[in-house]
Structure 1
Amino acid sequence: MTKPVVHITNLNLRYAEQTVLRDLNWCIYPGEHWVIGGKSGSGKSSLAQAITKQGSTSGTVDFWFDPTLKRPAIAHYVANWYQFTNLEGDRNFYYQQRYNKHQQNDTLTVYADLIHFGQKHHLDFSDAEPILAALGFTNFRETQLIELSSGEHKKVQLVQALWLKPQVLILDEPYTGLDKQSRRNLNAIINHIADTGTTIILITNDPHIPNAINRFAHIKGGQLEIVDELSNIQQDDKRTRKPLPYFLQQAPAVNHETLVELRNVSVRYGEKVVLKHINWRVNAGEKWLLQGPNGSGKSTLLSLLNGDHPQAYASDIWLFGQKRGSGESIWDIKEKIGIISPELHWYFDKNATVWHAIASGFYDSIGWFLQVKYEEKKQIEQLLDFFDLLDDKNKLLHTLPLGKQRLALLARTIIKNPQLLILDEPCQGLDRSQTAHFNAVVDELSAYGKTLIYVGHYESQLPSSLDHRLVLENGEVVTSEYIEESVQ
């Protein structure tokens, strides 16, 4: 009888005072490649971590590796976030640090990080070269880890894992932050290593999966439930429509017709040019879609607008009718902007409750802040109710399912009804139902005169209210257009 590659018996796990996995049993046989999807918070990541003996669980996880395979007899887990450190082994980074060049020697370069990984696992760097090329990451070798966007961090993780080629490979949300071409190339590589002996487990609700995937399941009631096809995997419940809080049912107070204007703006780090001669105007009430492949300059462009990039002062940039560097403070800028991004999420204060996370939007802080006023408390409560977060308001934000975390951060973004909303890949890691929920809220907000910049790769996962598009490639504008019809 064929032995399973992975045999899980009576696996139990509690997290944040809740039972996540309950007497879970699962066998993975040679030739099987799985997608584990399902509702947010159902225990998908917890199961993946348990397989690789991370976290405190009860039960048994046994492996039967093939001694004839010329690849490591291990199960390798790629987490949703890349937990890199500085040169001293510390993870105490701050949100704006990636743009401050005096910090550039604080972390390894991509190349040095990969070399360290390769030496640890006795790998030949030449075997990593095709993976770097397929993921469009060759030109990032000398970039510091702290300088990378969330999608670029994901590529570092994927290059390491695909280069290693373990006998069992578990990828948790592998498509997070990747552009369309990188996703297609990733699936091709996964198909190849699956065909040559690696057992694949994907933790995802993304519909665009590798052809090698032939088994499907979700977690229900703490146990694994196998289904016949991808479309039968459970999704989060559809949102019950609620009216927006009254304070958001009005256009923000705007004192200038043009909120953003960039005139021939370039950004360079030494010999590396990140943005080249950017001209862009965003008028009040417009809803812009910002697109481009990983490394095209999107994150840098947004950092010029929200006050986080020091080179903004040396450029011809006008925000809210005032030229940068003409006497305004960074807080004058942030007061008028609400922003959500993967980086802000990653760096967010781990001690913040949901309530405090939303309240911090009044003060443009991700840490502690001044005493919240009575009217502000009322607005917080209204948003907690609107996003169905009242029962979670005293919980630590990072203990919530990812979907709820993103909704709480959207609430933080809109709490002051800002003149400009910047939503940078806000639906990373969310399933189709959660994404539809999130974008429906964005469309409701847009109906009340909001000005929006929205970063997203997939046209099928965008709000319908977007009316302009800016596309970057290699730091240059290749498309700037009015969208006559919905982008979806």
Structure 2
Amino acid sequence: MRCTSICRKTLSENCLLKITNGNFTSEYKDLKSNKTLFGSAIRDFEVTKPGSPGKSSLWAIFGPAKSDFLQVAAGRFLSVPPLSRSYPQLQNDNGHNKIQFLNFRESTGIDKVHLSARYESFSYKGEAEISDDVNSVYNYITGANNYNSNSGHKDPKYVSNLLELLNLGHLSKKWINSLSNGQLRRAKLAKALINKPQLLILDDPFLGLDGDSTKLVSRSLRDISKDLSISVMLGLRVQDDVPEWIEKVAFVTHEDGIKICGTPESVLSSIREQLPAETVHAGKNKNKMTSTEKIHNDELVHPDRVPHIEFKNASVIYRGLPILQDLNWRIPKGTHWRIFGANGTGKTTILSLITADHPQSWRSVLSVDGVLRKTGSGSNFFDINNKIGISSPELHSLVPSNKTFMQVILNGLVKNIGNSNFMFDGSKVPLDDFAKHVLSTFNDEINANANTPFGQLSTTSQKLALFLRSVIKKPELLILDEAFSCIDDPLLLEKCHSFVEKDLRDTTVLQIAHIDWELPKCDYVIHLTGDDQRSYSLHKYVQGQ
């Protein structure tokens, strides 16, 4: 479907991006083989300044080729023919930094540190050092830190306005690596806006955010566009809700290029008609375990049995700020849990205590199989992690891009290296029956990607590799922290869920996800709440009608 109803000719002073009968390729050598990103050329697409006729300044891009299309909009890939893509207004201005592209599926812009290093550094920094650190939120946003070459001399009034729009003023002196996911998302947005771009392109801006943080980021983007006169393009999944301030929507595939284009109402209606229901809803209604009943901690484990993991009056406090407070939680062996709470309520801290990445893990805050974990207890970091399988955003950011899909999976079989070490080869480790079962179950997906370097895989395939790595050793404890948050294939998502629910029924599973349908079925949920005053509650899922 052409975008004829909405892609009208506009004066060059209003047009930021225009594509006319264009296709794109990644390398010059692909020109001879006619290897292009899209099966059909992009006939007519444009992004205009806010307030221009036609309302084409605020876009949402959906579809399996959305990420490639956003990169095209950002100036990446070679245009065919060369003049089919143009930036009319930017040609008349200083184009440097006038387009800012952020992909929130990637971990860029800050240093990549695993949880253990992050917590150790936070634990041993002095209060003055943290508040005045070169890596404070303010210095990160303005470019005055040592991780980029941007000048730190910015207009104080403009910076203050940015911090206010993104609700970051109270965090300006905080260490950047101590922010929650939602706070870090807003800090990255502020950094992208520091050079006053005219076009802001964001891929998956709401990925991994809870409902409240999603609403805050969405409102911030709306206000930024209005107050700073910035055009915005968002890359969203078909399962995502479209912000009410979006003006136009396009659905992009590699086969057709722009397949559908128009107002949000017309495009979303067409998507629902053309795509399979499971693709649109992605299992939103598949899990009927939506009702919960509150339970007491003492009800979880029979008095004659020992919990797999137990927290007793566990508290984690950083210089007067409680992260966890008087947590009492008994986790029976073989139960499947959801750890639920807003960004910054301590979910990741709980997991890091269990995996021994947190320095306070050894201060008698938890027991495993009835043995209190403390210095001199006989266990060490590697023994602990031999029994744990993990898939998390932190691990995702540490995978070497040259490791193949299969190498990443088999690395999970190597013992005594921890879960964050991807350098060891697991191909020579003998496969037990369960490992063979894992590889057999996902044989088609493995054959399609086995020798592909991790950096060249789609995000869906990267997530699958990390999931299979976490389960192939049949861990006693499986931690799925946003493990399925980027998987676009609903059938693959269901396949992974089914594997957890059936093949790992006797494994203790702890899961974090902000979207219900991204989770396999759970038995229980722990709900973390509060800011300065932390609290929690335990609930049991009951079968819906």
CA separation of 1:171 and 1:52: change in aligned 2, threshold 3 A: same
What is the deviation of 1:338? Answer: 1.0
Q: Give CA deviations for 1:409-458 in whole Å, capped at 9, x if unaligned.
A: 11111111111111112232334726843663355347732221111223
Residue in 1 that maps onto 2:236: 204
8 Å Cα contact 2:98-2:196 kept in structure 1: no
**Residue 327 (str. 1) matches residue 378 (str. 2):** yes
Residue in 2 that maps onto 1:20: 37
8 Å Cα contact 2:497-2:519 kept in structure 1: no
Q: Give CA deviations for 1:218-246 in whole Å, capped at 9, x if unaligned.
A: 1232722224413545879979xxxxxxx
The residue type equivalent to 1:14 in the other structure is S
SS at the partner of 1:303?
helix
Write the distance in 2 (CA, Å) between the matches of 1:290 and 1:78.
28
Residue in 2 that maps onto 1:373: 429
Equivalent residue in structure 2 for 1:459, among 516, 521, 543:
516
Equivalent residue in structure 2 for 1:173, among 198, 204, 213:
204
Write the distance in 2 (CA, Å) between the matches of 1:435 and 1:380.
14
Residue in 2 that maps onto 1:221: 255
**Residue 402 (str. 1) matches residue 454 (str. 2):** no
The residue type equivalent to 1:317 in the other structure is L
8 Å Cα contact 1:298-1:472 kept in structure 2: no
Q: Give CA deviations for 1:360-396 in whole Å, capped at 9, x if unaligned.
A: 11223322246633325745632541x6221211111
8 Å Cα contact 1:21-1:222 kept in structure 2: yes
CA separation of 1:284 and 1:262: change in aligned 2, threshold 3 A: same
Equivalent residue in structure 1 for 2:220, among 168, 171, 189:
189
8 Å Cα contact 2:340-2:525 kept in structure 1: no
Residue in 1 that maps onto 2:98: 74
For these two proteins, the number of residue pairs brought into alignment is 459
Write the distance in 2 (CA, Å) between the matches of 1:110 and 1:281.
37
Write the distance in 1 (CA, Å) between the matches of 2:499 and 2:183.
26
Residue in 2 that maps onto 1:100: 120
8 Å Cα contact 1:172-1:203 kept in structure 2: yes
8 Å Cα contact 1:207-1:230 kept in structure 2: no
Q: Give CA deviations for 1:285-342 in whole Å, capped at 9, x if unaligned.
A: 2211111111111111111111211211123211233221311011111111111111
Write the distance in 1 (CA, Å) between the matches of 2:118 and 2:544.
32
8 Å Cα contact 2:307-2:331 kept in structure 1: yes
CA separation of 1:397 and 1:370: change in aligned 2, threshold 3 A: closer
Write the distance in 1 (CA, Å) between the matches of 2:120 and 2:544.
35
Length-normalised TM-score, structure 2: 0.74
**Residue 113 (str. 1) matches residue 113 (str. 2):** no
**Residue 62 (str. 1) matches residue 95 (str. 2):** no
The residue type equivalent to 1:64 in the other structure is P
What is the deviation of 1:55? Answer: 5.5
What is the deviation of 1:179? Answer: 1.6
Length-normalised TM-score, structure 1: 0.82
Residue in 2 that maps onto 1:269: 318
Alignment of 1:283-298 (within 5 A): 283-298=332-347
Gaps of 5+ in 1: 240-255
What is the deviation of 1:57? Answer: 5.7
The residue type equivalent to 2:397 in the other structure is W
SS at the partner of 2:483?
coil
Equivalent residue in structure 2 for 1:38, among 55, 60, 63:
63
SS at the partner of 2:506?
coil
What is the deviation of 1:128? Answer: 2.2
Residue in 2 that maps onto 1:474: 531
SS at the partner of 2:542?
coil
8 Å Cα contact 1:268-1:275 kept in structure 2: yes
| Percent of matched pairs sharing the same residue | 25
Equivalent residue in structure 2 for 1:260, among 293, 309, 325:
309
Report the more deviating stretch, 365-374 or 171-180. Answer: 365-374
Equivalent residue in structure 1 for 2:69, among 26, 39, 47:
47
Q: Higher Cα Rg: structure 1 or 2? A: 2
Write the distance in 2 (CA, Å) between the matches of 1:476 and 1:330.
31
What is the deviation of 1:36? Answer: 1.4
SS at the partner of 1:178?
coil
SS at the partner of 1:108?
coil
8 Å Cα contact 2:315-2:326 kept in structure 1: yes
Q: Report the aligned-residue RMSD.
A: 3.6
Write the distance in 1 (CA, Å) between the matches of 2:155 and 2:221.
21
CA separation of 1:56 and 1:307: change in aligned 2, threshold 3 A: farther
Alignment of 1:391-470 (within 5 A): 391-431=448-488, 433=490, 436-437=493-494, 440-441=497-498, 443-445=500-502, 448-470=505-527
The residue type equivalent to 1:382 in the other structure is S
SS at the partner of 1:339?
strand
What is the deviation of 1:7? Answer: 1.0
Residue in 2 that maps onto 1:153: 184
Write the distance in 1 (CA, Å) between the matches of 2:544 and 2:535.
17
Q: Give CA deviations for 1:2-53 in whole Å, capped at 9, x if unaligned.
A: 23431124241238997434644542243222221212xx3x3233233223
8 Å Cα contact 2:339-2:526 kept in structure 1: yes
Write the distance in 1 (CA, Å) between the matches of 2:353 and 2:26.
43
SS at the partner of 1:471?
strand
Gaps of 5+ in 2: 1-8, 49-54, 144-149, 280-304
Report the more deviating stretch, 358-367 or 475-484. Answer: 475-484
8 Å Cα contact 1:288-1:453 kept in structure 2: yes
Residue in 2 that maps onto 1:242: none
8 Å Cα contact 1:420-1:451 kept in structure 2: yes
CA separation of 1:149 and 1:355: change in aligned 2, threshold 3 A: farther
